[in-house]
Amino acid sequence: MWSAGRPGKCRCPDARLELASGRRGPLRERPERDLARRYLERIGKIGRGVGLDAPDVIELDESRARRAEERKRDEAAALRAALDPKLALFALDEGGKTMSSEAFAAAIGRRRDDGAAGIAFVIGGADGIDPSLLADAQARLAFGAMTWPHQIVRILLAEQLYRAATILAGHPYHRA
């Protein structure tokens, strides 16, 4: 195996990536859906050489509970039921840590090199992520201090996962 910072071929089992979200139905807007899909497909192509599978996308319907706390609890239960328990949980949360693209790639590479089954990235619904699910997360990530629409977060995450795969592969897409 090679260390997370060095590009090259990986002789390790493929690490699974999952993107899970609690929100109101699938992405309906064609441009956003298509852009996210394009990045996810690219990960499947370049990721094979560095031990990363193309991400599985899990979309759950937003809870219909009246109160925000109940909705978050319902969504957390649905996410737990849908996610593979062997995967490390990374939660996208406005209170999370910001990372450089290189640090994000290194974190994914370390998990892969350590033999982890993979990583499940969770994007919360409109009310955010339940505190119990955040407590279970091995990492909390943020794309800055601003609040982003769910569709944009999915695109940003898909692009950063693709960028991480290119960094791990030594591909010139990332120019730092």
Q: List residues forming the annotated binding site for S-adenosyl-L-methionine.
A: 92, 124, 143-148
CB atoms closer than 10 angstroms to residue 110: 13
Instruction: Show the beta-strand stretches assigned E in the chain.
Output: 16-23, 56-61, 88-97, 118-123, 139-141
Query: For residues 94 and 71, what is the distance between their CA atoms, to the nearest angstrom?
Result: 18
Give dist(CA 24, CA 78) in Å, integer: 13
Residue set of the binding site: 92, 124, 143-148
- CA–CA dist 92, 142 (Å, integer): 6
Torsion of CA 166, 57, 62, 101, to 10 degrees: -10
Measured CA to CA, the distance from residue 56 to residue 16 in angstroms comes to 8
Distance between CA atoms of residues 41 and 47, nearest Å: 10
